[in-house]
Amino acid sequence: MAELKVLFATSEVAPLIKTGGLADVSGALPAALRAIGVDVRVLVPGYNPVIAQLAHHQVVASFDDLPGFPPARLLSGTLANAVPLLVLDCPSLYQREGGPYQNTQGHDWADNALRFGLLSKVAAVLGSSASPLAWHPDLVHCNDWQTALTPAYLHFAPGAVPSVIAIHNLAFQGIFPPATVQQLHLPPSCYSIDGVEFYGSLSFLKAGLFYADHITTVSPNYAKEIQQEELGFGMQGLLTTRSDHLTGILNGIDTDEWDPATDPYLARQYSSVNMNGKAVNKEFLQSRMGLNIEPDVPLLGVVSRFTDQKGLDLLLEIAPLLTELPVQLAMLGSGDAQMQKTARDLSHLYPGKIGVMIGFSEELSHQIEAGADMFVMPSRFEPCGLNQMYSQRYGTPPIVHATGGLADSVADCTAATLKDATASGFTFNGMTAENLYATIQRAVGLYHNTSQWEALRKNCMAKDFSWQNSAEAYRTVYLKVLGR
């Protein structure tokens, strides 16, 4: 069989540039696919940190006259895990202070349509007979709204290969005024309900969902949920129509980066056969977060974007009650200004019991996974979620709302699941503060039963969250799309 070649277009890739789970997936899935013989190359914009970390690069193509876009170049490089990288270099669009999507004030860049229109356009050129590269993919795999115009451009391009669009979060859709269709040189005819139009605007994501040959999303349960009104964000009709071409594949995690036995960020490494180090990490975390050094008080960890999606408002609401259980709380995250303020205020009201760090810290996120006794993730919706998998690998049972990928990756602790050794955390239905509180209370009850708690931790750490199974599932999708 001819080798399978895939262009993986993404707006972020760990460790070069990361705002969330998409970067983790883009950093790990291509490597896992290469390990099973798929020739994947990653296309990513040349933001400042990406260019800065590109050690040796070559200019492999120039795009001087893409209609509607400024001149751009393609640089070749490699990720640390040896995955070949194509960096889209267009300084006027990508090299600025701030994040990939927002400026330093947290506002979306005004020219995001152009920035991600170009990324989508170049991905489509590379997947068509107009490509300047010698390497021609069999298929383009795009991810989320930022690359979701690719299938639309491909649809109208000569000699185009098929495309797959992966939904990592349906809540972000890339909605722009209708005039953007002309600005981005999409054919006017595609601005229709059977095309890129979505309630009177251009939707990048809708374009991808409509034109891609296949749609994937990051957990089987989320694949079902997005076909319903509650979590379909207006796309449920289209997704239901396309359900024969929609597959849910649970993300894996990078098991090298997230391994308590080798993690360089930890105060002491540990493993399921030697858990002694976990207590050392707990004490370290308590000290780093300004918490009282209490070995026997359960410590709840949180690492999260502070947004409505993550349901942390419920946790903040019950935090004072939780301190009386007693438990301690160590929170790392940033986002919504009001939520940040509430969290900070709580840490001042409950010194030694609630520790809050506002910001983004890879190091501290590892230390929380290791040092906490339990990890809390009460997301309202969660396409897949990664932290609940990291926490299981670190022997830190997660407490989660049973939604999306959380329901697919955490088995609730019951008498039956403890008995058959499948229990791996605590789940609740019904998104209320009462339900969250009751579930934390249930977890704390088990924590004080040492032998059962140890058994639960062992179950967590024995689970296989590696990318291999998921990579196989993606390859199956690619082959199906290609009719091979």
Residue ranges that bind ligand ADP, judged by CB under 6 A: 20-21, 24, 303-305, 332-334, 360-362, 365, 384-387
CB 192, min distance to ligand ADP, A: 32
Q: How many CB atoms lie within 10 A of CB 340?
A: 17
Quick one: CA torsion of 225, 230, 231, 235, rounded to 10 degrees? Answer: 100
CB 403, min distance to ligand ADP, A: 12
**DSSP β-ladder status, 72-78 and 84-89:** antiparallel
CB 8, CB 41: distance < 8 Å: yes
CB 383, min distance to ligand ADP, A: 7
CB 300, min distance to ligand ADP, A: 16
CB 99, min distance to ligand ADP, A: 13
CB 230, min distance to ligand ADP, A: 18
CB 234, min distance to ligand ADP, A: 19
Cα 279 to Cα 483: distance, rounded to the nearest angstrom: 53
Q: Give the 3-state secondary structure of residue 129.
A: coil
Closest to ligand ADP by CB, 25 vs 90, is 25
Residue closest to ligand ADP when measured from CB atoms: 21
**DSSP β-ladder status, 58-63 and 328-335:** unpaired
Which residues, 6+ apart, have CB-to-CB distance to 252 below 8 Å? Answer: 28, 29, 32, 465, 466, 467, 468, 469, 470, 471
CB 159, min distance to ligand ADP, A: 35
Closest to ligand ADP by CB, 327 vs 384, is 384
Closest to ligand ADP by CB, 111 vs 362, is 362
Q: State CA 189 to chain mean position distance.
A: 34
Closest to ligand ADP by CB, 190 vs 386, is 386
Closest to ligand ADP by CB, 323 vs 409, is 409
Closest to ligand ADP by CB, 211 vs 306, is 306
Residue 445 C-beta-side C-alpha neighbours within 13 Å: 9
Closest to ligand ADP by CB, 122 vs 357, is 357
CB 265, CB 259: distance < 8 Å: no
Closest to ligand ADP by CB, 89 vs 408, is 408
CB 107, min distance to ligand ADP, A: 19
Closest to ligand ADP by CB, 304 vs 328, is 304
Closest to ligand ADP by CB, 133 vs 473, is 473
CB 154, CB 125: distance < 8 Å: no
Q: How many CB atoms lie within 10 A of CB 274?
A: 11
Q: Give the 3-state secondary structure of residue 35.
A: helix
CB 349, min distance to ligand ADP, A: 22
Which residues, 6+ apart, have CB-to-CB distance to 467 below 8 Å? Answer: 28, 29, 31, 32, 251, 252, 253, 254, 255
Cα 183 to Cα 190: distance, rounded to the nearest angstrom: 14
Closest to ligand ADP by CB, 19 vs 271, is 19
Place of tokens 């190359």: 41
CB 38, min distance to ligand ADP, A: 23
Cα 61 to Cα 136: distance, rounded to the nearest angstrom: 13
Cα 250 to Cα 334: distance, rounded to the nearest angstrom: 26
432: DSSP letter: -
Cα 30 to Cα 24: distance, rounded to the nearest angstrom: 11
Give start and end residues of each alpha helix (H) in 76-235. Answer: 91-94, 112-126, 150-155, 180-183, 204-211, 220-225
